[in-house]
Amino acid sequence: MSASRGGFNSSIGFIMAAAGSAVGLGNIWGFPTQTASNGGAAFVLVYLVLAFFLAYPAFMAELLIGRYGQANAVTSMQKVARTSWQKRFGFAVGFGGVLCAALILSFYAIIAGWMMSYAVEPLAKLASFTDEAKWLITHTLPRNILFTTLFIGLTILIIRRGVEQGIEKWSKRLMPMLIILLILLIAYVFTLNGAQAGFAAYLNPDISRVFDADLLISALGQAFFSLSLGTSVMIIYGSYIAKKENLVSLGAQVTLIDVSIAFLAGLLIIPAMYVAQAQGVAIFAEDGSLISGSSLVFTVLPALFLNMGAVGLFVAFGFFVLMTIAALTSSISMLEGPVSFVVERHNIARKKATTYIGVAILLLSIIIVINLEWMLDFIAILSTQYGQPLIAMFCCIFVGWIWHRNDILTEIKQGNSEVESSLFWKIWPWYVKFVCPTAIALVFIHSL
């Protein structure tokens, strides 16, 4: 690895960074609400199985491409390719991933900006800035632009500092904070009236739904989004892992953390909703399903915090800081995808490239903010429902069908000399070759 490229200093540095990318709004917001509307623990069960049997193998494919290539996603894909059509294909897939990461960041930053403004609101209230507090939680164009800009600004500041001083250092600081905050909030909600009913609703599996096609599709989509697949992000993070590290176990640890935090988030959100219900807040929509989406985070939960009185200010602050941290460790990975591409392929200094690309993405975010009604959903669907699965599928095809099995083995053996006789090596090559692409294709076709 050339010294100027940088890389993670330790396995824990990689684990925190990759888990930071994986754990985001998808875990803390998406997972609990999907669970609530998809048969409770039945969804958790299916999610667990799919995360380990489909998302983890695909995740390993991306990490391996990156560590082999020791370069940005496009260059790494092209290093695996041998013939000229394969190189063109590699370029398209790698570049598609880079674009997808940029698109996701452009809408993710808007939502993260809302989390930030809701985190500042209790502070404004504590300082008796009543009008300002109200402004912070009222959806207006100036507020949205201000907080989207602040959030992208923070992301740019971290990425400008590079892999060790930016991504690794901040992930190692923020991820433990996130876990502590999450556990404190769960413990507090646990003591409140109504929480028990929430636990029961969350943990009671409706087994009849386990083979429900919609449930399977939602769970697989959620698992792919959560592991940040199909966005070049895990390829680039893989390229920063030292050759002495055991990729198979690092990947499994990250998947485990990702799944566990999603599960913990469910233990917070669902009981909190039932606590809100016990206090008279409506938590079911007209069709009888639990309220999800933005009304959950920006209406139901704030109503609960308000009912808590003075403590509610601290709980609200803790909750929205948690959301902001989760979003930030994900957004830095999204920006790293395009930045590493431009730095390495076009020989532009990291700081300059980060600022230019960050500002370009911010401009796109502002255009989305101005056309929020239709554009937010449009960009989100384009990038996460079309882009991510297709690119993740092509990565699996690349590894399964183009990369020679022996070359993969040579790469994976570094840091894991016993791998050839392991269960992983008996199963995984078939998985990436047949099972993953087929499953992703099926889900993709069904979701159309």
Residues that bind ligand PHE (CB under 6 A): 21-22, 24-27, 101, 104, 225-226, 228, 231, 233, 330, 333-334
- Closest CB 406 distance from ligand PHE, rounded Å: 31
Neighbours of 216 (CB within 10 A): 22
C-beta closer to ligand PHE: residue 27 or 35: 27
194/338 with CB nearer ligand PHE: 338
Minimum distance, C-beta of residue 262 to ligand PHE, in the bound complex (Å): 8
Cα of 344 vs its chain's centroid, Å: 25
Nearest to 250 by CA among 69, 419, 388: 419
Smaller CB distance to ligand PHE: residue 22 or 74?
22
Partners of residue 40 on adjacent β-strands? 205
- Smallest distance from the beta carbon of 26 to ligand PHE, in angstroms? 2
3-class DSSP state of 137: coil
CA distance 125 to 121: 6
**Distance from C-alpha of 201 to C-alpha of 190, rounded to nearest angstrom:** 14
Q: Which two tokens stand for residue 329?
A: 């460790």
CA distances from 244 to 331, 418, 426 (A): 28, 13, 22
Which one, 328 or 419, has the nearer CB to ligand PHE? 328
Query: Is the CB of 246 or the CB of 330 nearer to ligand PHE?
Result: 330
Residues 6+ apart with CB under 8 A from 377: none
- Residue with smaller CB distance to ligand PHE, 171 or 277: 171
Shortest Cβ distance from residue 336 to ligand PHE (Å)? 9
- Could you tell me the two tokens for 174? 């923020």
The CA dihedral of 271, 225, 99, 159, to the nearest 10 degrees, is 60
Q: How far is the CB of 25 from ligand PHE (least distance, A)?
A: 5
CB of 420 to ligand PHE, least distance (A): 32
